[in-house]
Amino acid sequence: MATPHDIADSATSISALTAARDRLIVALDLPDAVLVRQFLPRLEGQCRWLKVGLELFVAAGPAIISELVESGYSVFLDLKLHDIPNTVAGAVKTASTLGASLLTLHAAGGPHMLHAALDAAASMPKAPTLLAVTVLTSMNSQQLHATGIPQPPSQQVELLARMGLAVGMRGFVCSAEESAQLRTICGAETSLVVPGIRPAGVALDDQQRVATPTLALQNGASYLVVGRPIVQAPEPASAAAAILSEMASALQT
Ligand code: C5P
């Protein structure tokens, strides 16, 4: 029987698959460390990036980051910090000691907050790359209007990205619907991290601004974040292999 590795390897070249693996982040949205330890072997070595979000971080604490890093994974710590500048700067400093490679904060915290966060990161020897979250991929125009923002997500994303760029941010989280626009504005060196990824035919769940892995890469995404389509799949390694294969094909064209 074909293994997930075979399925992925047969469709694409090894180097394209390696490039795809470097750009796929699995969102470990699980309630505790025990479930994470049970889940990871089910990925069968398909993935090298893991995202720790609020659910897992609140349950397992900073120790889960070092555990994953020591196991050889690159870790994206998705804390979505949003507070006064002094508090966010302090959180960036403490988070910078944990070994994560990427850390999020909300662009909506404003330029002073972003600036304080960048200064804090610059003062630490092994700070993660900071990513400013623009508009959550779960928000559509209606949801945004309800928070008092009249313009559609694409305009708000651009406004927040331009604000972030002006204070020195070089990484953003956006949906695939805005990534081509942001790539033009931000240039090639900026990291664009794109959640809301759904392979064709997969449930959207609570996500609104979604795209397939192929479209997200075509639109300039640097990294794709995928949670439930892999973590909740009956066979996570096969689900990851299918996504990696699609990504590798897109990267080859
Ligand atoms: O399960 P799913 O693939 O929808 O998970 C997406 C992940 O990306 C979640 O962990 C969510 O917190 C995160 N995320 C997002 N939209 C953003 C930023 C992060 O969905 N704008």
**pLDDT tens-digit profile of 65-77?**
999 999 999 999 9
pLDDT digits (tens, 9 = 90+) for 161-187: 999 999 999 999 999 999 999 999 999
Cβ(211) to ligand 1 under 6 A?
A: no
Q: How far apart are CA 129 and CA 127, in angstroms?
A: 7
Per the structure block, which two tokens stand in for 182? Answer: 């942001």
Mean pLDDT over 83-106 rounds to 98
16 band by pLDDT with thresholds 50, 70 and 90: very high
* Residue 194 belongs to some domain of the structure: yes
Atom number of ligand 1 nearest to Cα 205: 4
Atom of ligand 1 nearest to the CA of 231: 1
Q: Which domain holds residue 225?
A: 25-252
So what's the pLDDT on residue 214?
Answer: 97
Residues with active-site annotation: 80
1 found inside a domain: no
CATH number assigned to the domain comprising residue 211: 3.20.20.70
Q: Is residue 4 part of a domain?
A: no
In a domain, 219, yes or no: yes
Return the top range by mean pLDDT from 13-17, 92-96, 206-210: 92-96
CB-ligand 1 contact for 173 (6 Å cutoff): yes
- Residues 24-28, mean pLDDT to the nearest whole number: 98
Q: Which ranges of 100-220 would DSSP assign to H, the alpha helix?
A: 111-122, 141-146, 153-167, 176-186, 213-218
What was the pLDDT predicted at 13? 85
Q: Rounded to the nearest whole angstrom, what is the distance from the C-alpha of residue 70 to the centroid of ligand 1?
A: 24
Q: Are 118 and 129 in contact (CB under 8 A)?
A: no
Task: Assess contact for 227 and 27: CB atoms under 8 A.
Answer: yes
Domain-embedded: residue 187: yes
Residue nearest to atom 21 of ligand 1 (CA): 136
Q: What is the total count of domains within the chain?
A: 1
DSSP lists the bridge partners of residue 51 as: 27, 76
Q: Within the chain, what is the greatest distance between any pair of CA atoms?
A: 56
Residue 161 lies inside a defined structural domain of this protein: yes
Stated as kind and residue range, the H or E segment containing 56 is: helix 54-60
Please indicate, yes or no, if residue 98 is contained in any of the structural domains.
yes
pLDDT at 178: 96
Looking at per-residue pLDDT, the higher value among 53 and 7 belongs to 53
Angle value at C-alpha 117, between 161 and 141, nearest 5 degrees: 35
Sequence-ordered list of residues with C-beta below 8 angstroms from that of 61, at least 6 positions apart, any chain: none
Residue at 16 is within a domain: no
Q: What is the pLDDT of residue 172?
A: 98
Whether 6 shows a pLDDT value over 90: the answer reads: no
Query: Which helix (H) or strand (E) element contains residue 171?
Result: strand 171-173
- Compute, in angstroms, the gap from residue 213 CA to the centroid of ligand 1: 14
Q: What's the pLDDT tens digit per position in 113-161?
A: 999 999 999 999 999 999 999 999 999 999 999 999 999 999 999 999 9
